[in-house]
């Protein structure tokens, strides 16, 4: 049974903030469906009473001093910005009112 329909692809793409072109959506649906079908084999595994594993270091609560550091200048941090103005990152307008 197909789990990942083109509509489901649109829903996921919106959550992932990727503006997929319509042309990409059908192929993506087929590929994702194949992958999801593959990973579904885990549904048959008995994991009753098994705790989930988040990480494997065994480290717990790694603390450090909460100190103010200044490793980079404003210029360095803005150096890769696609657009900037007056020492700030510049973004396009937030409201879509055209």
Partner 1 sequence: MTDLRRPIAELVAEVQSGTLTAVELVTASLEAIEKSDGYHAILEVSEVALERAKQIDAGDKSGRLAGIPFVAKDNFLTRGTHTTAASNILKPFAAPYQATAVEKLEAEGAIMVAKANLDAFAHGSSTENSDFGPTKNPVDPTRVPGGSSGGSAAAVKLGLACFALGTDTGGSIRQPAALSGVVGLKPTYGLVSRFGVIAMGSSVDVIGPLANRVTDASLVLDVMAGKDRFDATTIDRQKSYAVEPLPLKGKKIGLIKEYMGDGTDSAVKAAVTATVQQLTAAGATVEDISLPSVDLALACYYILIPAELSSNLARYDGIRFGHSSQQAKTLADTYLKSRDEGFGAEAKRRIMIGTYVLSSGYYEAYYKKAQKVRTLLVREFNTAFERYDYLLGPTAPTTAFELGEKNQDPLAMYMSDIDTVAVNMVGAPGISIPTPTDGLPIGIQLIAPQGKDAELLGAAQAVEELVA
Does position 93 interact with partner 1 (CB under 8 A)? The reply is: yes
Number of residues interacting with partner 1: please give it, by CB under 8 A: 55
Give the dihedral of Cα atoms 60, 65, 66, 71; nearest 10 deg: -110
Note whether 61 and 54 are within 8 A (CB): no
Find the binder of partner 1 among 1, 22, 23, 57 (CB under 8 A): 57
Q: Which of 1, 22, 23, 38 binds partner 1 (CB under 8 A)?
A: 38
Of the candidates 1, 23, 50, 60, which one interacts with partner 1 according to CB under 8 A?
50
Q: Interface mask (CB under 8 A) for partner 1, residues 8-37, using x and -?
A: xx--xx-xxxxxxx--x---x--xx-xxx-
Burial status of residue 9 (CB atoms within 10 A of its CB: 0-12, 13-18, 19 or more): buried
């Amino acid at each position: 049974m197909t789990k990942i329909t083109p509509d489901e692809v649109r829903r996921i793409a919106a959550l992932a903030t990727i503006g997929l072109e319509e042309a990409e959506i059908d192929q993506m649906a087929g590929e994702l469906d194949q992958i999801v079908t593959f990973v579904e084999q885990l549904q048959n595994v008995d994991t009753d009473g098994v705790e989930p594993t988040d990480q494997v270091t065994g480290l717990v609560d790694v603390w450090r001093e909460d100190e103010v550091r200044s490793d980079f200048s404003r210029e360095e941090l803005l150096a890769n910005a696609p657009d900037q103005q007056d020492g700030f990152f510049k973004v396009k307008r937030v409201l879509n009112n055209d």
